[in-house]
Chains A and B, each alone.
Chain A
Amino acid sequence: MANPKYKEALDRYERHLTEISTQEMVLNMGPQHPSTHGVLRLQLITDGEIVKEVVPHLGYLHRCFDKHAESLNYGKTIPFTDRLDYLASMNNSHAFVMGVERMLGLDSKIPKRIEYIRVLVCELNRIASHLIAIGTYGIDIGATTPFLWCFRDREHIMNMLEWASGSRMLYNYIWVGGLFYDLPVGFETRCAEFINYFKPKLIELDEILTQNQIFISRTANIGVLPADVAINYGVSGPMLRASGIKWDLRRIDGYSVYPEIDFEIPVGKGAMGSIGDCWDRYKVRVDEVHESVRIVEQCLERLQKDFKRTADFDPRGLVPKKVNLKAQDYYVRAENPKGELGFYFVTKEKSDIPLRVKSRGPSFNNLSVISELGKGVLIADLIAILGSIDIVLGEVDR
């Protein structure tokens, strides 16, 4: 190749390729796309496969929860809270009811049996919610089988909660001062049977997904969320714990009967990559399912021994006919499957209708970090990041 003219054509061709003009493109992801887990629209500004900027657009599912809550009395608002995070309705009503009971001064009078039933159904609902998170995350990445397995097992929980409350997903079971009904006769045994069935299934799930090399390659070291960024963005729940921070309101605030129950708080350890990556977020949820199973077992034991069903037990005994509050304000928070769910009440003097209720959905805050996490990643990784946040649009848009 001594003569440069023999290389002329090659040089020209290579120069042509490097001088090609690239340009940024706006790409819409959603609102009608399964990977956005609901009606979320992400506007991506992309350069080829690289995401330069993520602009989320919310509000497609806005149902004016705050406005509804200030025109209805407290009891009538509970069904609306069910529809916030509709995958964990029990937890939503529990948080709302706790706030109203605290303002009424009822919170210390609630019988232990009612509190244990509340914790039992909330934890069952937490398992159901995490099963959806795990299963749909699998399908986001491309694993179909775990999705079907998770939905199969979740269906058992749905059936049990339907037996207790009469509804499959939106329960209206936890009331101010009590419960809709006591647990149906035989619920404890059926629940114990479910736990026995479910434990080996969790091991199977671990084998097919958690240790799956393809899954690890897609999630480890992807979307790393440092702890300080997470806190500054108000991220809470499994997402915050995955970034290595042991923050669980069930322990911090010690509400309901959680101080009497023994459970661990799993945190992200960066076992497959770095702390706070997608795999950690997934793993924290899997570990939390194991912990919730432990909580359910303890609740069942106590409901069958110390706080047995008695003939004169009335779950509606303390339910107030009319909620009469003095003018005050109170912010209640609780650990939902997705993070800190808060309700801020401003009440009116001698009225059973609040002046203002603001709901603080955990998904709303967790989602806001997507524009930070999504900078400079591949489009395919953005799907993995969004799935690992585990949002429910009912709660983002409220």
Chain B
Amino acid sequence: MTFEEIKLKLVSRFGDSVILKEEVTGLQAALFVHVEDLIPVCSFLRDTEGLYFDFLSNITAVDYEDHFTIVYHLSSLPYQHTVVLKVELEGNRSLDELPEIPSVTSVWRTADWHEREAFDLMGIYFSGHPDLRRILLPDDWEGYPLRKDYQEAEKYHGININ
């Protein structure tokens, strides 16, 4: 199924407002959806005949400095087509108030560790995630290293690390 057909299917189910914008100039076309529509859109993409996006390849959090973007790369094993979903989140830089997005763990279990990684390294809070602990860094690590404004700490447990 082509990108246009996938878009049409989504629009006919959720209405025009579901797609905030689209990116078609690059090598892989992407759809931007609203953060509140994410779970219904994902469930629809996975379960609808003709779409069956049953395989979540990758979740990436990207820091564009003025905002964060969460990118979902989906593919379908039965139909061998792919689609890119993007969700933009406001760039709140405070470490006490992380940008929040619903977790898609209930749709694809792949999301479990990918979301933990995004939480760990980029500081995105995935609400509804069953086990949102840090995954690669130690539990007591401070800050989110992949953020563009991350300041490296001088010491870790009294050990000089710089």
Contact = CB atoms under 8 A, between A and B. Distances in A.
Interface stretch (A26-34, A216-224, A231-239): A231-239
A330 B62 CA distance: 13
A210 interface: no
Given A342-B58, A368-B112, A328 B27 contact: yes
Given A232-B108, A331-B84, A360 B28 contact: no
Given A67-B145, A330-B26, A368-B110, A344 B136 contact: no
Contact of A247 (B25, B77, B84, B121): B77
Contacts, number: 79
A355 B57 contact: no
Number of chain A interface residues as a range:
20 to 34
Contacts of B64: 355
A318 to B, nearest CB: 19
Interface in B139-162: 145-146
Contacts of B30: 329
Contacts of B27: 102-103, 328, 330
A387 to B, nearest CB: 20
Contact of A360 (B58, B145, B146): B58
B109 A233 contact: yes
Number of chain B interface residues as a range:
20 to 34
Contact of B62 (A232, A346, A372): A346
B135 interface: yes
A299 to B, nearest CB: 26
A329 B30 CA distance: 10
Contacts of B134: 59
A234 B121 contact: no
Contact of B113 (A329, A333, A355, A364): A364
B116 to A, nearest CB: 9
Interface in A308-365: 328-331, 333, 340, 342, 344, 346, 355-356, 358, 360, 364-365
10 contacts: A66-B121, A232-B108, A233-B109, A330-B28, A333-B57, A342-B73, A344-B58, A360-B57, A365-B110, A368-B112
